[in-house]
Amino acid sequence: MRIVYSPRHRLHADNQELNAGVITPAFELPARVDFILKRIEAVGLGEVIEAKTIDAVAAAVKVHDAGYLQFMADFWTLWLAEGRSGPTMPYVWPARGQRDIRPEHVNGLMGYYSFDGGASFVEGTWEAVQSAVWSAIGAAELIGGGERAAYALCRPPGHHAGSSTMGGYCFINNAAVAAQWFLDHGAKRVTILDVDYHHGNGTQEIFYRRGDVQIVDLHADTAVAYPFFSGRTDETGEGQGEGFTLNLPMPFGTDWQTWGAALDHACRAIEAFGPDVVVVSLGLDTFEGDPISKFRLKREDYPKIGARIAALGRPTLFVQEGGYAVEDIGHNAVGVLSGFEG
């Protein structure tokens, strides 16, 4: 399959994150893409195409709040105007009992438009964020043009980004933008299958009240795992979306036996929905060696994921999400994609 990628992802680098109460260098690194590209070349997976420049805001505003996108576009200018130039992250959020009001100051805006301290800005962040949308749409266009599958090798990732909130290393929800693109180009129903270790809270929020996008999400049980405030089995959608969200949480220590059975369950729900396109939020942080996660999938399990998804027999867009075992991510990502191709 062909791979769409933009070297501009590299502009989002040298940032920090607030993780479990500690500020650390970011886990979500440019080297992740380098290792995946290296493995793509080693196995000859397919042609790597550089994403062409498109209007990322025009594509993203179909699933994101316009004020939120404007905030991200303006952020670095606002930050410089404060006399600041280092990497930053939000630190104060409206919580229960506080008002839903949009502050004017950049420090307040950061909290207003985020849900955690995991989405931190550097000068090039907004450029990189837009380039991830270029990759997602570029890969979607290949499928729109008749290809069976394509891979958007993008970062920063997207599935934690909600309609007006960044967090969890995510700013624009690349998979959601792509799903909407398919609907706007003839698809009647799209499934987003999220196999990242973490619950895709942003994707769920964006489509929660819609019946045209099915959300199926395998993840670590959010009673004990990030992002904590969504991802339970009783979240099934609302209104027109009732019955179109399926959460499959699993305990720490989950290995292929449990995870593979959950994937099979997920795929049967997808078959029942009958989507025109499947968008896979492809996280590799289910790997046993992942530094921030607690599942135990092994390198040899990843091709089995791809093979099961291929058996759905649908046009399939893979969109890169998490995965932080940097030296293994190439084998695991390309394992899924090779398994899909059979």
**Which of 9, 39, 155, 198 forms a contact with ligand Q9C (CB under 6 A)?**
198
314 near ligand Q9C, rule: CB under 6 A: no
**Which of 17, 194, 285, 290 forms a contact with Zn ion (CB under 5 A)?**
285
198 is catalytic: no
- Rounded distance between C-alpha atoms, residue 35 and residue 302, angstroms: 16
Strand residues in the chain grouped as ranges (E): 2-5, 16-19, 22-25, 48-50, 149-153, 190-194, 213-220, 245-250, 277-282, 316-320
**Which of 90, 156, 200, 283 forms a contact with Zn ion (CB under 5 A)?**
283
321 near ligand Q9C, rule: CB under 6 A: yes
Do 193 and 317 form a contact (C-beta atoms < 8 A)? Answer: no
Do 51 and 138 form a contact (C-beta atoms < 8 A)? Answer: yes
- Rounded distance between C-alpha atoms, residue 86 and residue 80, angstroms: 9
Q: Where do the H-state alpha helices sit in 217-325?
A: 256-273, 302-310
90 near ligand Q9C, rule: CB under 6 A: no
- Rounded distance between C-alpha atoms, residue 311 and residue 336, angstroms: 13
Q: Which of 160, 198, 219, 331 is catalytic?
A: 160
Nearer to Zn ion, 141 or 285 (CB): 285
**Which of 285, 290, 301, 328 forms a contact with ligand Q9C (CB under 6 A)?**
285
Nearer to ligand Q9C, 72 or 142 (CB): 72
For Zn ion, the binding residues in 309-328 under the rule CB under 5 A are: 322
Number of CB atoms found within 10 A of residue 184's CB: 10
Q: From the list Zn ion, ligand Q9C, none, pick the one residue 226 interacts with, judged by a Cβ distance below 5 to 8 Å according to partner type.
A: ligand Q9C
For Zn ion, the binding residues in 148-207 under the rule CB under 5 A are: 196-198
Nearer to ligand Q9C, 142 or 192 (CB): 192
**Which of 196, 205, 217, 235 forms a contact with ligand Q9C (CB under 6 A)?**
196
Nearer to Zn ion, 235 or 290 (CB): 290
Three-class SS of residue 281? strand
- Rounded distance between C-alpha atoms, residue 107 and residue 88, angstroms: 10
Site of interaction with ligand Q9C (CB under 6 A): 19-20, 118, 157, 159-160, 168-170, 196, 198, 226, 283, 285, 292, 321-322
